[in-house]
Amino acid sequence: MRRLSWLLAAALLPAQDETRNPATSPADIEAGAKTFRSHCSPCHGFDGGGGRGPALNTGRFYRATTDAELLRVISDGVEGTEMPGLFYSPDRVWQVVSYLRSLNARPAAKGNAAAGAKLFTELGCGGCHRIRGEGGRLGPDLSEIGRARSLDHLRQAILDPNADVRQRYWVVRYTDASGSRREGFLMNEDTYTAQILDTSENLVTVVKSAVRDYRVEKTSKMPSIKGKATEAQAEDLVAYLASLRPQGESR
Amino acid sequence: MKTIALCLITLPLAGQVTYPRLLNASAEPGQWMTYSGSYKGWRYSALDQVNRANVAGLKVRWVYQMPTTHMVETTPLVVDGVMYFSEPPSNVVAVDAATGKQYWKYRRKMPPKVNVCCGQVNRGVAALGDRVFVGTVDAHLVALDAKTGDVLWDVEVADYKAGYSVTVAPLIVKDMVITGIAGGEYGIRGFLDAYDSRTGKRRWRFWVIPGPGEKGNETWSGDSWKTGGGSTWVTGSFDPEQNLIIWGTGNPAPDWNGDVRLGDNLYTDSAVALDADTGKLKWHFQFVPHDVHDWDAVQVPVLVDDTWEGKPRKLVYWAHRCGFYYVLDRVTGQFLLGKPFATQTWAKGLDASGRPIRLPNIDPSPEGTYIWPGVQGATNWYSPSYSPVTRRFYLSVWENRSVYRKGDQRYTPGNRYIASVPLIDLPDDPGHGAIRALDPKTGDRVWEYRLHTKPWAGVLSTAGNLVFGGSDEGYFFALDAESGKELWRQNCGGIIRTNPISYTAQGKQVVAIAAGSSIFTFDLP
């Protein structure tokens, strides 16, 4: 009984995330845009269209729904990702939140998504990339890639995979004790060891002092589709990738 | 009469840290009674039970886990079998130094909102008599009973709502508790304070930024001196012969735009030497006049008496965040030597007075300026070490750069006053770290132990000819002090953001450091 009344009391308390953004004037949005362009745009694109970081102009965010959550994510960063915290007082961060809320544009893909899906299979992309549990695991899981990445970034990724390679996909190469050449994707590295996913999908710790010719290459293992597909087909593939979104979520 | 006699008898018993004991700390290597182990700032242990021949057998003795999600930056003290350390934000714990079992814990309640740039951290406590002293994130100084943890006095050092906080470990000088202040990212006006250890009454305050009419105030344009920063958040050293407290000062505010504070901005980014009884400035040396990169002089001053150009001289060794290693005269503050100890791209060199000769286009810009070292510097607050055995200077080094950006910001009390944010870590170019040994008389590098990542841990040298250090990768390691060769390492499983110490428990040498949110101790089985 006592527990029940406590629960009821908790239900009546205002949720913390009802905190209102105090900086929503046009001047705030303009100031937020300035901060965004100098600090966020290198990863999230000049107008929030995304790049190495997720697109922020879709009205939907991975880590936040409310303004208060956005404030927290921008201020504190996201642990385990490349997203750093923004070293500013809340008044400046609220302006960035307002700017993000003002963005809501997402151009439609030009290509044909169904044709792109067929091409994805024909080119064997599924050997390394997984979509909803189907496919390989050496490359990034693409199940929701259309939500996270802009069309421009998707296009760049398939045409010029080396343009922007996340650390997690840097390639570790070395010669093991038996003299065999080995390689895998970098999951973690310290002074003495590296943790990799090798090309046979084994989790391996490499002890640097026990191998020869250890090196980390910041290039992508993914082949470009240039020469394998026409420009129109590339657009079809972009359209297909852009259509990959959380189930039940419309564009 | 009988009571008085009893008092006289009980005074020097165990647990009583007296000023003479602090003065002669080197005579008691089994204790660790001040932040740096001695007033000289050496972070050196004269214990040699653990040495190059046997360090490979070092094993965990005990671990104390702190129930905290804040970063742990504490350096423990060990006095007569009891270890005292802070637990963030501003708690204090006393444990048995032999077992790690807790005697008491002082829990400080924090207000809901405190203003700290870089986490609710604390770097340690000070001890005198039967008292332990801690500075708090809400900018108080608290005296605790060393036997019970009860509060004896609690004084406000400054207004935390205006961006002031205390994260530094205090330093005992005579019967005074010396504490610095943090808040260089909040437009504070920095100072160094001395408090009566018995009553908590303030004896003196040295303003890092001189007020109107005082010498140095003319190095600040307009009213900028009022909000000019100049914090004092890392423990300094003390020269008893000259009665001089030597302390490093922090960055001018706002950090990355100097247009509103034209001039040299004295005494920010400086070594200041103060009369211990009055707090009056005896000399200063400013490493970076008009700093626009956030290169605080928050390093522990290393005080060494040695020959210089054939004559005995009192010296200060100082590896500064800006990437240069300096030797200063401790009597006058005169610049004697300066040399880069890490990659730097901002200065052509230093002139005869030690003032940097800046290269063009090094200031932060709206589009971003790439400069080595990065905003966290080529070294930072974590302690260096000096070994009288090898006569080497040891330190943790960062090889890295940042993109420095310039922006505008108005001062509002209690809010960050920094005028932009640099891109600190470049995802594709994270840089690397190292432990380096320097010849302190020339600044030349003797050896390097390279690290994949940039360490936030200080170093300890010992009479066993070892240098202990730690890394962001969670490793605590021992190196040969002469060659830099690794002799032992242990994965502690959490980032090490603090300094090692060494002491004796039950006749055995123990080495201790905080890693992750735990205190780890090691000895030979």
- Subunit contact A190:B452, Cβ cutoff 8 A: yes
What integer is the mean pLDDT of A131-155?
A: 91
pLDDT, residue B15, reads: 58
Q: Are residues A150 and A78 in the same domain?
A: no
Distance from CA of B415 to the nearest CA of A (A): 6
What integer is the mean pLDDT of B323-330?
A: 98
Q: Are residues A93 and A124 in the same domain?
A: no
pLDDT, residue A164, reads: 87
Taking alpha carbons only, the member of A237, A216, A49 closest to residue A129 is: A237
Instruction: Confirm whether A136 is domain-assigned.
Output: yes
Distance from CA of B55 to the nearest CA of A (A): 19
CATH number of the domain bearing residue A235 = 1.10.760.10
Instruction: Confirm whether A107 is domain-assigned.
Output: no
Task: Give the model's confidence band at A18: pLDDT under 50 very low, under 70 low, under 90 confident, else very high.
Answer: low
Q: Are residues A19 and A91 in the same domain?
A: yes
Identify the three-state secondary structure at position A187: strand
Instruction: Confirm whether A50 is domain-assigned.
Output: yes
Q: Residues near B314 by Cβ (< 8 Å), separated by ≥ 6? A: B239, B241, B242, B303, B305, B329, B330, B331
A250/A120: higher pLDDT: A120
Task: Give the model's confidence band at A9: pLDDT under 50 very low, under 70 low, under 90 confident, else very high.
Answer: very low
What residues of chain B lie within 8 A of the CB of A209, using their CB? Answer: none
Q: Considering chain B, what percentage of its residues have pLDDT values greater than 90?
A: 91
Total CB pairs under 8 A between chain A and B? 46
Q: What is the mean pLDDT of chain A?
A: 86
What integer is the mean pLDDT of B464-473?
A: 98
Instruction: Confirm whether A10 is domain-assigned.
Output: no
Q: What is the CA radius of gyration of chain A?
A: 22
**Is residue A152 pLDDT above 60, yes or no?**
yes
Tokens 């002074």 sit on residue = A191
**Is residue B237 pLDDT above 90, yes or no?**
yes
Whether residue A86 lies within 8 A of chain B, CB to CB, comes out as yes
In contact, A228 and A161? CB cutoff 8 Å: no
Q: What is the mean pLDDT of chain B?
A: 95
Q: What is the chain B residue with the closest CA to A218? A: B428
Q: Are residues A146 and A24 in the same domain?
A: no
Please pick, among B130, B138, B264, B294, the residue that the annotation labels catalytic. Answer: B294
Least CB–CB distance from B407: residue in A38, A82, A167: A38
Interface test with B, best of A190, A209, A215, A216 (most B CBs within 10 A): A190
pLDDT in tens, B135-173: 999 999 999 999 999 999 999 999 999 999 999 999 999
Task: Give the model's confidence band at B522: pLDDT under 50 very low, under 70 low, under 90 confident, else very high.
Answer: very high
Interface test with A, best of B428, B429, B495 (most A CBs within 10 A): B428
How far, CA to CA in Å, does B201 sit from each of A115, B79, B142, B153?
80, 25, 12, 10
B231/A17: higher pLDDT: B231
Distance from CA of B427 to the nearest CA of A (A): 7
pLDDT in tens, B360-388: 999 999 888 999 999 999 999 999 999 99
**Is residue B3 pLDDT above 60, yes or no?**
no
Rounded Cα distance between A143 and A62, Å, is: 14
Distance from CA of B428 to the nearest CA of A (A): 7
Instruction: Confirm whether A9 is domain-assigned.
Output: no
- Phi, psi of B22, rounded to the nearest 5 degrees: -65, -40
pLDDT in tens, A187-227: 999 999 999 999 999 999 999 999 999 999 999 999 999 99
Q: Are residues A32 and A95 in the same domain?
A: yes
End-to-end CA distance of chain A: 46
Alpha helices, DSSP H, located in B397-475: none
Rounded Cα distance between B380 and B397, Å, is: 8
- Subunit contact A189:B452, Cβ cutoff 8 A: yes
Rounded Cα distance between B463 and B24, Å, is: 17
SS3 letters across B339-399: EECCCCCCEEEECCCCCEEECCCCCCECCCEEECCCCCCCCCCCCCEEECCCCEEEEEEEE
Look up the pTM and report it.
0.88
B439 catalytic residue (yes or no): no
**Is residue B457 pLDDT above 90, yes or no?**
yes
Tokens 């080497």 sit on residue = B392
Distance from CA of B43 to the nearest CA of A (A): 25
Task: Give the model's confidence band at A249: pLDDT under 50 very low, under 70 low, under 90 confident, else very high.
Answer: low
In contact, B306 and B337? CB cutoff 8 Å: no
pLDDT in tens, A73-99: 998 888 878 888 877 888 889 999 999
- The DSSP secondary-structure symbol of B79 reads E
What residues of chain A lie within 8 A of the CB of B407, using their CB? Answer: 35, 38
Q: Give the distance, in angstroms, between the CA of residue B266 and the centroid of all CA atoms in the same chain.
A: 21
Cβ neighbour number for residue B209 with a 10 Å cutoff: 28
Instruction: Confirm whether A3 is domain-assigned.
Output: no
Range of the domain at A184: 171-217
Number of domains in chain A: 3
Distance from CA of B303 to the nearest CA of A (A): 32
Q: Are residues A177 and A206 in the same domain?
A: yes
Question: Could you tell me the two tokens for B453?
Answer: 């990542």
Least CB–CB distance from B418: residue in A87, A91, A218: A87
Q: Are residues A31 and A145 in the same domain?
A: no
B26/A18: higher pLDDT: B26
- Subunit contact B473:A190, Cβ cutoff 8 A: yes
Rounded Cα distance between A87 and B487, Å, is: 39
Contact residues, A window 162-181, toward B, CB-based 8 Å cutoff: 166-167
Question: Could you tell me the two tokens for B244?
Answer: 């001089």
pLDDT in tens, B272-297: 999 999 999 999 999 999 999 999 99
Identify the three-state secondary structure at position A119: helix
Helix axes A90-102, A67-76, angle to 10 degrees: 120
CATH number of the domain bearing residue A211 = 2.30.30
pLDDT, residue B49, reads: 98
Task: Give the model's confidence band at B11: pLDDT under 50 very low, under 70 low, under 90 confident, else very high.
Answer: very low
Q: Are residues A117 and A231 in the same domain?
A: yes
**Is residue B7 pLDDT above 50, yes or no?**
no
Interface test with B, best of A36, A83, A89, A219 (most B CBs within 10 A): A89
User: Is residue A230 classed exposed, middle or buried when 0-12, 13-18 and 19+ CB atoms within 10 A define those classes?
Assistant: exposed
Q: Are residues A141 and A230 in the same domain?
A: yes
Q: Are residues A158 and A119 in the same domain?
A: yes
A15/B415: higher pLDDT: B415
Q: Lowest-pLDDT range, A170-174, B116-120, B171-175, B442-446?
A: B116-120
Instruction: Confirm whether A4 is domain-assigned.
Output: no
Q: Considering chain A, what percentage of its residues have pLDDT values greater than 70?
A: 91
Least CB–CB distance from B416: residue in A88, A189, A218: A88
DSSP secondary structure string for all residues of B395-412? EEEEE--EEEB-------
Whether residue A88 lies within 8 A of chain B, CB to CB, comes out as yes
Amino acid occupying residue B99: T
- For this complex, say whether ipTM is above 0.85: no
Tell me which residues of chain B have a C-beta less than 8 Å from any C-beta of chain A: 117, 185, 366, 368, 405, 407, 412, 415-416, 418, 420-421, 423-425, 427-428, 450-453, 471, 473, 475, 489
Rounded Cα distance between A206 and B432, Å, is: 19
Question: Could you tell me the two tokens for B437?
Answer: 């040994």
A213/A67: higher pLDDT: A213
What residues of chain A lie within 8 A of the CB of B428, using their CB? Answer: 167, 218
- Subunit contact A167:B427, Cβ cutoff 8 A: yes
Task: Give the model's confidence band at A106: pLDDT under 50 very low, under 70 low, under 90 confident, else very high.
Answer: low
- Subunit contact A82:B427, Cβ cutoff 8 A: yes
Instruction: Confirm whether A59 is domain-assigned.
Output: yes
Q: Are residues A150 and A234 in the same domain?
A: yes
- Phi, psi of B456, rounded to the nearest 5 degrees: -105, 20
Q: Are residues A199 and A233 in the same domain?
A: no
Rounded Cα distance between B443 and B16, Å, is: 40
**Is residue A15 pLDDT above 80, yes or no?**
no
